[in-house]
Amino acid sequence: MASASSLCLKGQVWTPQGPVDGGWVLVEGGVISAVGGPHDPPPGGEGAPSLGGREDLVILPGFIDLHLHGFGDHGFLGPPDLLPEALDGASKALPVSGVTCFLAGWTGLDPAEALRFVEAAAPCVKPQGQRRSGGAALTPCSEGGSGSRRFPPAPPPPAGPPRAHLAGLYLEGPWLALPGPVQGGTRDDRRPGRPAAPGGRQPWAASPLEAARLAESLLERAQSRLRVVTISPELPGPRAVIPLLARAGVVVAIGHTRASYEACREAAEAGATHVTHGFNRMSPWHHRRPGPVGAALLDPRLRVEVVPDGIHLHPAAVELAWRAKGRGGLVAVSDQVGAGTGLGVGEAPPGVPGARLWHADGGRAAWRTPTGALLAGATPANRLLQWLWTQTPIPRQESLEFLTLNPARILGLEGRKGEISPGRDADLVVLDEGFTVRLTLVGGRVAYALG
Ligand SMILES: [Zn+2]
């Protein structure tokens, strides 16, 4: 029998076995307690008032975005003392796009900046493995950047709707050989070259010892909250940190690179398991120099991120990656930025005069330099799913998993998130026929409702 606080959503329910028309999901105590089809009468529970009794909507697991640098008005690349507020703001706002779990991403070339980011952001991350009791997922931060490594006990959840779960930190740098303008490089994709780094030093040219020292400092400050680090494997320093980070449980990603095919395979041998925005900001496939794209597609140890917005990638590139990697091998990310990075809506990023937001149909957009080079994404997760479902031949169940189950696995959260099954967290998104988010639940509570 359903309890008084239970919620029953009805519609086309996307279970691990596929969509169930006329299905239902019963949510109790913050988790999915039962799932059924038209022939199993639902055991009770209130409908969501915001859905107005509609039972023709699509019910999906909440989206998990591993790679973003901000959302809406909330950017993560600004001053560290503003970071806790930005993380809280983004985690409140993300459910409008169906995102219920995310990593906070920094990017740049300056090691000191990376350390400051980790120090300010790590206390905002809720430790893994702790089941919520219907409260907000994000530990609010009032003293970001305080320097304390002994994080205080989590205060009570803030009032108001629940937030998307901040599951950890993502560092896209500082060991990048091929940075773009957002990373502090000075040249765009059409004239790749050695950028000036802060202090005039190339961080990716650090010796193995220097790189290892920095990695240890980052790990120490992150206190297990660091989940993914992107490195370029062509030089000794970045290569040296791969086993060190992997041993600490960090997912090591290859990206921003012109490394050879062989160097990328060696990185995978050393412990790299991920490829950052595949095809983008890396040397392209060449039949005599297959490079990072060849390694990404062929090495089964590597999972590949894609930005499936139809701007970063042609549909054939995503299809090719899917055919090469198979089910479970791709992860869709938004690579979005937010205001506070200088990349807010209508703003030009500092150091990239004339950058503009480039709009496509279907709610898709991306940031470009004046010469057309891509700077960052600007397409919300629900529109990434729409593009995958309508513009590629990939089975819908599989491309849905690019945004749900596959990132959950990378975070070690499979069995808990990423699927609509009994016992999973009730992180759910309800879409209408136009792929507009009508309702998002985080931990069984309404984080966003349209209208
Ligand atoms: Zn990047």
Cβ atoms of 369 and 299 within 8 Å: the answer is no
Q: Per-residue pLDDT tens for 184-213?
A: 765 544 333 444 444 555 666 688 999 999
Residue 339: pLDDT band with limits 50, 70, 90: low
Of 86, 64, 27, 67, the residue nearest 406 (C-alpha): 64
Q: Is the pLDDT of residue 133 over 50?
A: no
Task: Give me ligand 1 centre to Cα 161, in Å.
Answer: 32
3-state class of 279 per DSSP? coil
Identify the residue with better confidence: 344 or 226.
226
Cβ within 8 Å of residue 441, ≥6 positions away:
7, 27, 62, 100, 426, 427, 428, 429, 447
Task: List the structure tokens of 142.
Answer: 């009032």
Of 5, 20, 4, 143, the residue nearest 420 (C-alpha): 20
Return left, alpha or beta for 55; rule: phi > 0 is left, psi -120 to 50 is alpha, else beta.
alpha
Return left, alpha or beta for 317; rule: phi > 0 is left, psi -120 to 50 is alpha, else beta.
alpha
Average pLDDT over residues 256-267: 96
Cβ atoms of 235 and 264 within 8 Å: the answer is no
pLDDT for position 53: 82
Task: Give me ligand 1 centre to Cα 258, in Å.
Answer: 13
CB-CB neighbours of 23 under 10 Å? 22
Task: Give me ligand 1 centre to Cα 76, in Å.
Answer: 14
Q: Is the pLDDT of residue 98 over 90?
A: yes
Task: Give me ligand 1 centre to Cα 276, in Å.
Answer: 7
Task: Give me ligand 1 centre to Cα 86, in Å.
Answer: 20
Q: Is the pLDDT of residue 431 over 80?
A: yes
3-state class of 237 per DSSP? helix
Task: Give me ligand 1 centre to Cα 447, in Å.
Answer: 29
Task: Give me ligand 1 centre to Cα 375, in Å.
Answer: 8
Task: Give me ligand 1 centre to Cα 162, in Å.
Answer: 29
Which residues, listed in sequence order, are joined to residue 440 by a DSSP beta bridge? 429, 448
Task: List the structure tokens of 222.
Answer: 């992150």
Cβ atoms of 228 and 103 within 8 Å: the answer is yes
Task: Give me ligand 1 centre to Cα 226, in Å.
Answer: 17
Which residues, listed in sequence order, are joined to residue 105 by a DSSP beta bridge? 170
Of 412, 444, 449, 431, the residue nearest 14 (C-alpha): 431
- Which amino acid is residue 289, in one-letter code? R
Q: Is the pLDDT of residue 140 over 60?
A: no
Task: Give me ligand 1 centre to Cα 194, in Å.
Answer: 16
Task: Give me ligand 1 centre to Cα 176, in Å.
Answer: 9
Q: Per-residue pLDDT tens for 384-408?
A: 999 999 999 999 999 999 999 999 9
Of 219, 63, 67, 167, the residue nearest 412 (C-alpha): 167
Task: Give me ligand 1 centre to Cα 419, in Å.
Answer: 28
Q: Per-residue pLDDT tens for 368-379?
A: 888 888 888 889
Task: Give me ligand 1 centre to Cα 36, in Å.
Answer: 41
Q: Which helix or strand (DSSP H or E) is residue 328 part of?
A: none
Task: Give me ligand 1 centre to Cα 239, in Å.
Answer: 18
Task: Give me ligand 1 centre to Cα 256, in Å.
Answer: 6
Which residues, listed in sequence order, are joined to residue 43 by a DSSP beta bridge? none
Task: List the structure tokens of 294.
Answer: 């060849």
Task: Give me ligand 1 centre to Cα 260, in Å.
Answer: 19
Task: Give me ligand 1 centre to Cα 59, in Å.
Answer: 31
Q: Is the pLDDT of residue 137 over 60?
A: no
Q: Which helix or strand (DSSP H or E) is residue 59 part of?
A: strand 58-61
Task: Give me ligand 1 centre to Cα 377, in Å.
Answer: 10
Q: Is the pLDDT of residue 142 over 50?
A: no
- Nearest-angstrom CA–CA distance, 173 and 85: 23
- Nearest-angstrom CA–CA distance, 378 and 359: 9
Task: Give me ligand 1 centre to Cα 211, in Å.
Answer: 20
Task: Give me ligand 1 centre to Cα 327, in Å.
Answer: 24
Cβ within 8 Å of residue 28, ≥6 positions away:
2, 3, 5, 6, 7, 45, 444
Task: Give me ligand 1 centre to Cα 281, in Å.
Answer: 7
Task: Give me ligand 1 centre to Cα 68, in Å.
Answer: 10
Task: Give me ligand 1 centre to Cα 257, in Å.
Answer: 10
Phi, psi of 103 (to 5 degrees): -105, 145
- Nearest-angstrom CA–CA distance, 146 and 29: 35
